[in-house]
Amino acid sequence: MTITRADFLRSLRRAVDDVPFAADGGQIRSLDPGHAWRIVLTPLPELAIALVRLGRLRVEIFLAGYDDARTRRFLERFELYFRRAGG
């Protein structure tokens, strides 16, 4: 993702439907046992376009105990809240 860690964390609350979470270094995990997920953020080199520099992160999402439908709903909501510029 082309996003800074601070911006990612700011958007994450709504993206995970207000489920409480804890961020510890590069790992973020749900604090709600009914929503077992973990997100790992790995910094990537900045994207440079002319004089513009954009932060980037590799985002890995791990879901536990989610069936196919619930996984799809989680990922669709996550994508919706992180979509920028219409797509």
Among residues 40, 7, 47, 4, the alpha carbon closest in space to that of 24 is found at 40
Please report whether residue 32 resides in a domain: yes
For residue 39, give the CATH number of its domain: 3.30.1370
Mean pLDDT by 10 residues, the chain (87 residues): 92 94 96 94 94 94 96 96 69
84 SS3 class: coil
Please report whether residue 87 resides in a domain: no
- Contact (CB, 8 A) for 64 and 12: no
pLDDT in tens, 39-63: 999 999 999 999 999 999 999 999 9
Please report whether residue 60 resides in a domain: yes
Q: pTM for this one? A: 0.88
31 is written with which tokens? Answer: 């604090």
Question: How far apart, in Å, are the Cα atoms of 42 and each of 1, 10, 17, 33, 54?
Answer: 10, 17, 23, 25, 15
Give the count of domains, the chain: 1
